[in-house]
Structure 1
Amino acid sequence: MEKKKVAVPLVCHGHSRPVVDLFYSPVTPDGFFLISASKDSSPMLRNGESGDWIGTFQGHKGAVWSCCLDTNALRAASASADFSTKVWDALTGDELHSFEHKHIVRACAFSEDTHLLLTGGVEKILRIYDMNRPDAPPREVDKSPGSVRTVAWLHSDQTILSSCSDMGGVRLWDVRSGKIVQTLETKSSVTSAEVSQDGHYITTVDGSTVKFWDANHYGLVKSYDMPCTMESASLEPKYGNKFVAGGEDMWVHVFDFHTGNEIACNKGHHGPVHCVRFSPGGESYASGSEDGTIRIWQTPLSHDAASEALSANELVEKVMKISADEVSHKIESFRIADEGKSEEGKTEENEQAGE
């Protein structure tokens, strides 16, 4: 009987309280990075591939609920229970700006072009800060119907997505008009909403259901019932054929996107899993838990990836075979040429002897 291989993650220690949010940067010339938010009030920056600690952003006086990096991973932002959102220099760790709010801030997100920062929280107000004019008052979008839990940008920063902690549904706002243009209906409140890397899907988690929506036409594409109440889910960015989800059972589950079948179940956390996110290349994914640790897991090889790897191996073998054949052919040619030369030499010797 074949023994099932157990996935061994990279375990990242450092936080003293639960990890409640994770965010990967896109791939930059220096690699990619992972930032984590924790109730210990100190967001941490790590190397996204190895999980190695780079630095800690210090200055908040309350739990940090959300964190993000800009497209170039040069700035970080964090939303906190101390009624502020802070912007940090991701290279030095220095605090660049502190935007004061009137209540707990639960979510923050940099726009794709890095010029804007979106925040939302218990105040039920979405605010947009201009990073080129940080001292200017923020633009306030129409009042949210509930306490804001998650925010995200889509459609090249033309649309804002937000969910509430005290009611179901995901609201989509037109940035120009500041009005809600569409609501994606869910039974429970949405605890996680992610826009896929290619901009095609919105992945949401409400209760024990993971849903995938068409990000352009807003239709429901897939809906899967999970084995327990989930808090977070993330779609694999390269092939889009699997997703990870984590929740109250303390396990990190990997599912097939097309069928909803479970591919893997990773055990290791000692508390509910609050957040899961795929790395930008899809080769690994991270999970953050009530136990205060971050775990980085290797993604199970998909059929497409396996085929690609096989094709690459076949190509290498083919090139090596061709090279070997060429070498053999050249050696054979030299040998024949040498033999011909030898025969020629013998004939000349005989002729000279005859003379």
Structure 2
Amino acid sequence: MDKRKVAVPLVCHGHSRPVVDLFYSPITPDGFFLVSASKDSSPMLRNGETGDWIGTFEGHKGAVWSCCLDANALFSASGSADFTAKLWDALTGDEKHSFEHKHIVRACAFSEDTHLLLTGGFEKILRIFDLNRPDAPPREVGNSSGSIRTVAWLHGDQTILSSCTDSGGVRLWDARSGKIVQTLETKSPVTSAEVSRDGRYITTADGSSVKFWDANHFGLVKGYNMPCNTESASLEPKLGNIFIAGGEDMWVHVFDFHTGEQIAITSS
């Protein structure tokens, strides 16, 4: 008899089209949370430990390519094919502000203090919006060689991570000078990049694999091949012992960080 443990799926119905971005919040007094973006245009908020649905952010008129939560999980942001990035109240689900762009927004990220929102997309420009003055023009950091797929902050607000849809690798930009200071090399375009809550790892997904990089020395720490084409991955913030990955099969897969073994799946 096979005595290995069989993973029991946690079923949480929701998205009707592929999941393209996943994001864990930091640990808050109320626990931690998971937000997911999908081509169905409706980002969803879930309990990070159980996967239970909490609410849906409604208002986008196109596929949502990116989603994130701030440090206290009080606000969420999303980037969409409707040429906007939206700021949401994560407690009520209300739309707080819509930041207009001239083309599809593929990525967004809050700064550590939640005062800034970073965006990128088909315009090939990194923009920084001041959330204390949401109607003010954004600051532009630099031009990328191709359409921007991911953005994230590293080392406080000093460094920006970004990747492009037409080339492999993750670029690290100096936020002040707007110059590239480091590149993490991958063979395929990176569709997801995030910094772990403890600042130790950069997690990337590039379709066929999920990789974990040292966030200070930038060497590759771990890399795992995925069972299906993967659009996004996120490291669980509480203990850092598991990570999740989602993609074209519309399921969120849960893996052991240390071994890469799949331990659960949850429908999205």
Map of 1:344 onto structure 2: none
Map of 1:90 onto structure 2: 90
Is the 1:253–1:262 contact (alpha carbons within 8 Å) kept by the matching residues of 2? no
Distance 1:262 1:116, change over 3 A: closer
Is the 2:81–2:104 contact (alpha carbons within 8 Å) kept by the matching residues of 1? yes
Q: Matched residues in 1 for 2:35 and 2:63: separation?
A: 15
Distance 1:118 1:224, change over 3 A: same
- CA drift of 1:3 comes to 3.2
Instruction: Report the identity percentage.
Output: 79
Listed as ranges, the matches of 1:147-226 within 5 Å are: 147-226=147-226
Moved more, 107-116 or 39-48: 39-48
Listed as ranges, the matches of 1:96-135 within 5 Å are: 96-135=96-135
Q: Matched residues in 2 for 1:210 and 1:14: separation?
A: 24
- CA drift of 1:24 comes to 2.0
Question: What RMSD over aligned residues (CA atoms) do the two structures have, in Å?
Answer: 2.5
Is the 1:251–1:265 contact (alpha carbons within 8 Å) kept by the matching residues of 2? no
Q: Matched residues in 1 for 2:20 and 2:230: separation?
A: 13
TM-score, with structure 1 as normaliser: 0.68
CA displacement 1:137-182 (0-9 Å, x = unmatched)? 0001110111111111110121110111111110001111121111
Task: Find the residue that maps to 1:12 and give its secondary structure.
Answer: coil
Map of 1:272 onto structure 2: none
Amino acid of the residue matched to residue 129 of structure 1? F
Amino acid of the residue matched to residue 252 of structure 1? H
Distance 1:244 1:78, change over 3 A: closer
Amino acid of the residue matched to residue 103 of structure 1? H
Is the 1:163–1:189 contact (alpha carbons within 8 Å) kept by the matching residues of 2? yes
Distance 1:43 1:264, change over 3 A: closer
Amino acid of the residue matched to residue 179 of structure 1? K
- CA drift of 1:46 comes to 2.5
Map of 2:24 onto structure 1: 24
Q: Matched residues in 2 for 1:140 and 1:58: separation?
A: 28
Distance 1:235 1:103, change over 3 A: same
- CA drift of 1:239 comes to 5.3
Unpaired runs of 5+ residues, structure 2, are none
CA displacement 1:77-97 (0-9 Å, x = unmatched)? 110000000111122222111
Q: Matched residues in 2 for 1:251 and 1:51: separation?
A: 10
Listed as ranges, the matches of 1:257-268 within 5 Å are: 257=258, 261-264=259-262, 266=264
Task: Find the residue that maps to 1:51 and give its secondary structure.
Answer: coil
- CA drift of 1:12 comes to 1.4
Unpaired runs of 5+ residues, structure 1, are 268-286, 288-292, 295-355
Map of 1:254 onto structure 2: 255
Amino acid of the residue matched to residue 36 of structure 1? S
CA displacement 1:202-232 (0-9 Å, x = unmatched)? 1223343433322112233344555665433
Q: Matched residues in 2 for 1:33 and 1:18: separation?
A: 20
Moved more, 203-212 or 170-179: 203-212
Task: Find the residue that maps to 1:97 and give its secondary structure.
Answer: strand
Task: Find the residue that maps to 1:54 and give its secondary structure.
Answer: strand
Amino acid of the residue matched to residue 263 of structure 1? E
TM-score, with structure 2 as normaliser: 0.88
Distance 1:165 1:49, change over 3 A: same
Q: Matched residues in 2 for 1:46 and 1:235: separation?
A: 15
Moved more, 225-234 or 126-135: 225-234
Q: Matched residues in 1 for 2:51 and 2:104: separation?
A: 29
Aligned positions, number: 267
Distance 1:129 1:171, change over 3 A: same
Is the 2:18–2:248 contact (alpha carbons within 8 Å) kept by the matching residues of 1? no
Task: Find the residue that maps to 1:126 and give its secondary structure.
Answer: strand
